[in-house]
Amino acid sequence: LEEQLRQSQKMEAIGQLAGGVAHDFNNILTAIIGFGNLAKMKMKPDDPQQVLIDHILASSDRAAHLTHSLLAFSRKQVLLPKPVDLNAIVQNVGKLLSRLIGEDIELIPRLTGQGLIVMADEGQIEQVLMNLATNARDAMPGGGSLTIATEAKELGADFMSSHGYGKAGKYALMTVSDTGRGMDAKTRERIFEPFFTTKAPEKGTGLGLSMVYGIIKQHEGFINVYSEPGKGTTFRIYLPMVAKATTEARAEPEPLPRGGH
Question: Which residues would be at the binding site for ligand ADP (CB under 6 A)?
Answer: 131, 135-136, 139, 178, 180-183, 187, 191, 196-199, 204-210, 233
Q: Which of residues 105 and 139 has its CB atom nearest to ligand ADP in the complex?
A: 139
What is the smallest separation between the CB atom of 190 and ligand ADP, expressed in angstroms? 8
Residue nearest to ligand ADP (CB): 208
Q: Which of residues 205 and 247 has its CB atom nearest to ligand ADP in the complex?
A: 205
What are residue 49's phi and psi, to 5 degrees?
-75, -10
What is the smallest separation between the CB atom of 126 and ligand ADP, expressed in angstroms? 16
What is the smallest separation between the CB atom of 167 and ligand ADP, expressed in angstroms? 27
What is the smallest separation between the CB atom of 195 and ligand ADP, expressed in angstroms? 8
Residues, the chain, total? 261
What is the smallest separation between the CB atom of 134 and ligand ADP, expressed in angstroms? 6
Contact indicator for 80, 120 with CB cutoff of 8 Å: no
Q: Which of residues 77 and 210 has its CB atom nearest to ligand ADP in the complex?
A: 210
Q: Which of residues 67 and 233 has its CB atom nearest to ligand ADP in the complex?
A: 233
Q: Which of residues 142 and 259 has its CB atom nearest to ligand ADP in the complex?
A: 142
Q: Which of residues 37 and 134 has its CB atom nearest to ligand ADP in the complex?
A: 134
What is the smallest separation between the CB atom of 216 and ligand ADP, expressed in angstroms? 13
